[in-house]
Amino acid sequence: MRPGPYEFAAGTAVVTGAASGIGAALAAGLARRGSDLVLLDRDADGLAAVASAVRTAAPQCTVTTHEVDLADAAATDRVAARVVAGHPDITLLVNNAGVALAGRFDEVTLEEFDWVMAVNVRAVVRLTHALLPVLTANPGAHLVVVSSVFGLIAPAGQVAYASSKFAVRGFTEALRHELAGRGVGVTCVHPGGIRTRIAESARVGSGVPAAEGEAGKQAFARLLTMDPAVAAEQILTAVQRRRRRLLVGWSAVVPDLLVRLAPGSYGRVLAGLTALTGRRGR
C-alpha cells in the first residue's frame, strides 16, 4: 500500500549537493514547508551561504551542514554515521549531488571514469544504505534520487555520465519495488536542462583536445535554461504526491518520448540536434 501525502514538517530532510543549483533551491523550498535540514556538499563556502540564507528566511527550522567530498568513500561513511546518530527523525533523503565528465570512452582514463561513478553512484548507494534503517523506522518517509535526462538516453561523448545516471535509475526503481508496502515512498527524478553549475564544473577527459572540450562545455551550457527553483518546486510537489518518476522540463520529456519511439536509432537524431546546437552557437 502506498503511503499518504508526504508531510514536510514532520521530520528532517537530508539533501546532498546543497551548495548551489537544485540542491540549494530544494533546501529553501523544504525550509518554507517546515522541514529541518541536514545539508551536504564539498563546497564549504557555498554550503555556508545557503545555510545562512535558509536560517534567515525560515528561523524556525534547524539547519545542520556537513562539508564532504562524496568521491571519498570513507569520508562519505563517516558523515553518514554522524547524520544517522544526530538525526533519528529523518524522513526524507534527497540524493542530488552529481558530477559530469565529457569525452568518448577512449578519451577518458579509468580514474576519471571511476570518479564519476564514485560520486554519482557509489555515494548514493552508501548514503542510502546508511540512512535506510532510519527512513523505514519513520512511517511516511521518502527517498529521492536525482538521475538525469542522460538516465533516459545515452548520447555519444557522455559515456561516464550516462553510465552513472542509468545505474542510479536502476538502483532507484529496484529499491522502490523492495520498499513497496514498507511505508517509504521513492521518486526517481530526471532533470533536463536546468541552469546549474554542472556544465562549468564538468571535467573534460584527458584525451579530449582542449578546444573541442571547451566548445562542448559551451554547447552543453546553452541547453541549461530552466531556473533551479522551478525544478525544485516540481521535485517537492512530486515528493508530496509520492510520484514514482518525474521528468523535469521539455528537455527531459522530449528525449523520453524519442527513446520510446526509436529505442535503437535515436542516436542519429541526437547527433543531428547536437550539430544544430553547435552551429547556432557560432
CA 76 to chain centroid: 16
Domain 8-280 classification at class level: alpha beta
Residue 90 burial (CB count, 10 A): 21
> Which pLDDT belongs to residue 223?
60
Task: Look up cell 520498499; give the residue.
Answer: 179
Q: How many CA atoms lie within 13 A of 221 on its CB side?
A: 12
> Which pLDDT belongs to residue 111?
97
Domain boundaries, the chain: 8-280
- Active-site option among 161, 171, 220, 266: 161
Q: Measured between alpha carbons, how far is 263 from 110 in angstroms, rounded to an integer?
A: 28
Q: Measured between alpha carbons, how far is 172 from 181 in angstroms, rounded to an integer?
A: 16
> Which pLDDT belongs to residue 88?
97
DSSP secondary structure string for all residues of 207-225: TS-HHHHHHHHHHHHHT--
> Which pLDDT belongs to residue 281?
39
pLDDT in tens, the chain (282 residues): 667 899 999 999 999 999 999 999 999 999 999 999 999 999 999 999 999 999 999 999 999 999 999 999 999 999 999 999 999 999 999 999 999 998 999 999 999 999 999 999 999 999 999 999 999 999 999 999 999 999 999 988 899 999 999 999 999 999 999 999 899 999 999 998 776 666 566 788 989 876 665 555 555 555 666 789 999 999 999 999 999 999 998 888 888 998 998 888 787 777 765 554 444 433
Q: Measured between alpha carbons, how far is 136 from 144 in angstroms, rounded to an integer?
A: 14
Q: Measured between alpha carbons, how far is 27 from 17 in angstroms, rounded to an integer?
A: 10
> Which pLDDT belongs to residue 8?
97
Cα angle 96-102-108, degrees, rounded to a multiple of 5:
115
Q: How do residues 128-148 score in pLDDT, each as one tens digit? A: 999 999 999 999 999 999 999
Active site residue 266: no
DSSP secondary structure string for all residues of 75-106: HHHHHHHHHHHH-TTEEEEEE-----EEB-GG
Integer angstrom CA distances of residue 213 from 101, 146, 201, 202:
10, 25, 13, 10
Task: Look up cell 536502476; give the residue.
Answer: 170
Q: How many CA atoms lie within 13 A of 166 on its CB side?
A: 11
